[in-house]
Amino acid sequence: MNWPAVLPRRGLIVSSLNETVPFKSFLIKGDTLMLERTNPDPVGTRFIVIPFDAIHMVKMTEPLKESTLHEAGYVGQLAKV
């Protein structure tokens, strides 16, 4: 998987167990994703490894432009306000 350079590498992952994990960067190996948390969790965990099939949703926390999304491979148009 190639993450488009124009997309920020930070956001939130919601797992299939409904756990929300904020991240500031990530690494990919095979069918797993290693997330670097923005802050340690209550037990001090800074990194987590999660299989792609356990990811329910990815939330992007940075504002994104339509051109950025097109460069990332999305098609269509966003609503004009």
Residue ranges per structural domain of the chain = 11-63
How many whole angstroms separate alpha carbon 51 and alpha carbon 54?
5
pLDDT of 1 > 60? The answer is no
Q: Can you tell me the distance from the alpha carbon of 33 to that of 17, in angstroms, rounded to the nearest whole number? A: 16
Please tell me whether residue 1 adopts helix, strand or coil conformation: coil
Residue with tokens 């999304």: 69
Phi, psi of 29, rounded to the nearest 5 degrees: -140, 115
pLDDT digits (tens, 9 = 90+) for 8-65: 889 999 999 999 999 999 999 999 999 999 999 999 999 999 999 999 999 999 888 8
Token pair, residue 10, equals: 């930070």
